[in-house]
Structure 1
């Protein structure tokens, strides 16, 4: 089945290039052939895992001896079609580079892994200039930069039930991370809120509104830290992580000094999984977590009140925190994939629902929810394509709202009172080859920036990803 599916993927790519029909090579009779015909050299090119191939076996040989690497290029053209700040199209791209050294395969010691990754970000800003949304519409919408992303050592202990990581890390690579519907290597949604919930950004500074003095420890901005993972079984886990409270945004990510007076950021997460691989039942999981920052954070009501002389704007709170829950459940499994049920990438329909919450007195937003559906292999002969439908809602802080209303009573029109921001995304990712995808995404941003000041926006994004 896998070979036939890959041949159909290759055939589709060739058809789009005008070289042969999509269903060329598909048997006309339902009777099984004695053996699958060998693919042509062009079909083999589209079926291989990497655009540049295996280098005559060198790549596989290196991996067998412990050294593996990945190279992705993401090219994206987001367009604001209507509403927002202004209409227009920009180009944004990212080259992702990752290398791993496995000490077990290298014949050194068991359970060790050294990981290094870097990213080259380029292009013009989109959300800030065109939409104005907190939930950034495009996954690679970052300031242009070439930077070190992560550099850490990982060691597995106690029969691989305990994992310890030390080094430069991004928190979103270990926490609030879906098992099934979305990952860095299997991008389903392009809106950033589906990758790492926007509410967690509450810990950090929003330009022009000093709710904090911190940058966000999430991809592609890592900070020094340590993570401990305990996986006593396939059905239960507990993770804990502590990071420097202020990732270094300059120096290309190569400044390894601790921020000192910026505190520390901690994550805790525990989860359960049911119907794991081999059960023959539809799998799912529930993740519960919390985060805490030890630094001081401004009182948002006090800050806003200072604009009208109602307060000093200097009141602070010790620490900041939040909670989250993520539920995933597979709803339907394709017949030909039932033997692999429970594995990542199994064909069928998945659902997800995620909640986040944080105190209103020191954060820009206080509640967030996102959820949706992902179907892999919806159409016959398109086993590796994915359809994604998702929505998110972000509720602004009640303390901010009440403070803005108080200021407006003294100075009418000073603020457009904050309320919420929401987004809807529908996308379809086409697997043209094992190493090439094209993904159109339609999005509707409601109340960009968390109020009615900016018009709702219609966004279209066309993204292509190459795996070298």
Structure 2
């Protein structure tokens, strides 16, 4: 079955469930994008620069319509490296709308999400030759519709069907504590998921997903997407879905101790950090397309990647609150004969509310190790070394609608060689 046929079938199922299986009372908000764009701030009428729009924002929210407009930017300097010192700035402006049709027209459990953005700037990782991007925000310069989807949830959210245009890396291999970090493998998603051409944002592709929660703390979900290898070229505006590439599948099972699986989303938020919650995941991605083997002239059919991810609240000053220490560790593996970056390990510690100040703050320490396959080493060249990256940052929610996040990063064996680099800068975000 092609991606297009599966897409149409899933759309039919969404409509069918909407007609014959009304949902019970909903207890969680619709899932939105995360990573660098997740809502670490911006909650409530005082969390926006333009306030409550004279009461219109609250009025719309009561009807099930939520708008979010935000500006986020990374300013990073390579203060020590073999390259000349350079400031790299990358900016993003995003607008998002989420609609709960239960509140709007009485169609309980039916949701709609759409988001568009403008982004542009310099990519410091390319300039330095790093495998680990210093910014989880930076990618292509574009102005486009990023993603949209229609989602139906039934049985107290124990079953959910989603169809639309969205990215695999937003939900599979995505870092649960992403908003607490800057560099990509911890600040968005595992950095080598693209080896299987798993889609990322903003050039999302047509996709459909089924999520099932059989028991309280356990979920299973699976997604099929169009693994387009040239998303920006084939769909530069994001307005016309392109069914190009192989029908790639991704599946994940998760266990969420301390929290119901119905509330375990791709990315955490400040409110969800209360108590001793955790999230443990195993996932697999498979692309049936053709891939190049550097040791053979024959194309190989199929490629896959496996990942393991664990997040856990380690200590709380008060078991009912969020102040305390969190830990995260992730690892992925893919076949070395067709994947240049075949393994990656990430780990991190986050201290929630370490400073005795009246505003929200965190301090986070992150580590990433990226390995390259020896099959891709040219004849007579030395083997690549694993590249190491370490980051320390502090997120300071200085105003209800704005935070700043100063960061320092250190890299060893840049690009698998012997060079080192030190990067310093900050992220800032404003909710409008």
Inter-partner Cα distance in structure 2 for 1:49 and 1:227 = 32
**Is structure 2 residue 224 aligned with structure 1 residue 271?**
no
Deviation at 1:432, TM superposition (A): 0.5
Specify the alignment match of 1:220 in structure 2. 202
**Is structure 2 residue 175 aligned with structure 1 residue 196?**
no
Secondary structure (helix, strand or coil) at the match of 2:104 reads coil
**Is structure 2 residue 207 aligned with structure 1 residue 243?**
no
Secondary structure (helix, strand or coil) at the match of 1:331 reads strand
- 1:1-37 Cα shifts (integer Å, max 9, x gaps): xxxxxxxxxxxxxxxxxxxxxxxxxxxxxxxxxxxxx
In the alignment of these two chains, the number of paired residues is 373
Q: 1:465 to 1:234 in 2, by over 3 A?
A: farther
Specify the alignment match of 2:237 in structure 1. 252
Inter-partner Cα distance in structure 2 for 1:123 and 1:396 = 28
Specify the alignment match of 1:351 in structure 2. 327
Specify the alignment match of 1:324 in structure 2. 307
Inter-partner Cα distance in structure 2 for 1:84 and 1:352 = 32
Q: Any conservation in 1 of the 2:75–2:87 contact (CA below 8 Å)? A: yes
Deviation at 1:257, TM superposition (A): 2.4
Specify the alignment match of 1:339 in structure 2. 320
Question: Structure 1: which 5+ residue stretches go unaligned?
Answer: 1-45, 205-215, 303-313, 341-345, 409-414
User: Out of 321, 330, 355, which is 1:379 matched to?
Assistant: 355
Deviation at 1:198, TM superposition (A): 1.3
Q: Any conservation in 2 of the 1:115–1:152 contact (CA below 8 Å)? A: yes
Inter-partner Cα distance in structure 1 for 2:358 and 2:392 = 18
Which segments of structure 1 move beyond 3 Å, counting only runs of 4 or more?
none
Secondary structure (helix, strand or coil) at the match of 1:389 reads strand
**Is structure 2 residue 426 aligned with structure 1 residue 431?**
no
Specify the alignment match of 1:13 in structure 2. none
What TM-score, normalized to structure 1?
Answer: 0.76
Q: Any conservation in 1 of the 2:326–2:349 contact (CA below 8 Å)? A: yes
- 1:32-51 Cα shifts (integer Å, max 9, x gaps): xxxxxxxxxxxxxx991111
Deviation at 1:292, TM superposition (A): 0.5
Secondary structure (helix, strand or coil) at the match of 1:99 reads strand
What TM-score, normalized to structure 2?
Answer: 0.82
- 1:130-161 Cα shifts (integer Å, max 9, x gaps): x1112110122222111111011111122321
**Is structure 2 residue 132 aligned with structure 1 residue 132?**
no
Inter-partner Cα distance in structure 2 for 1:265 and 1:288 = 17
Secondary structure (helix, strand or coil) at the match of 2:231 reads coil
Deviation at 1:101, TM superposition (A): 1.3
Secondary structure (helix, strand or coil) at the match of 2:256 reads strand
Inter-partner Cα distance in structure 1 for 2:84 and 2:159 = 50
Deviation at 1:90, TM superposition (A): 2.4
Q: 1:85 to 1:328 in 2, by over 3 A?
A: same
Map 1:35-434 → 2, pairs under 5 A: 48-129=46-127, 131-179=128-176, 181-182=177-178, 187-194=179-186, 195-204=188-197, 216-246=198-228, 248-250=231-233, 251-259=236-244, 262-276=245-259, 282-302=276-296, 314-335=297-318, 338-340=319-321, 346-382=322-358, 384-401=360-377, 404=378, 407-408=379-380, 415-434=381-400
- 1:373-398 Cα shifts (integer Å, max 9, x gaps): 01110122255101010000011113
Q: Any conservation in 2 of the 1:92–1:124 contact (CA below 8 Å)? A: yes
Specify the alignment match of 1:40 in structure 2. none
Secondary structure (helix, strand or coil) at the match of 2:103 reads coil
Deviation at 1:190, TM superposition (A): 0.8
Question: Structure 2: which 5+ residue stretches go unaligned?
Answer: 1-43, 261-271
- 1:394-447 Cα shifts (integer Å, max 9, x gaps): 11113224xx3xx21xxxxxx453232221000011110121001111001222
Secondary structure (helix, strand or coil) at the match of 2:237 reads helix
Q: 1:281 to 1:73 in 2, by over 3 A?
A: closer
Q: 1:450 to 1:202 in 2, by over 3 A?
A: farther
Inter-partner Cα distance in structure 2 for 1:178 and 1:362 = 25
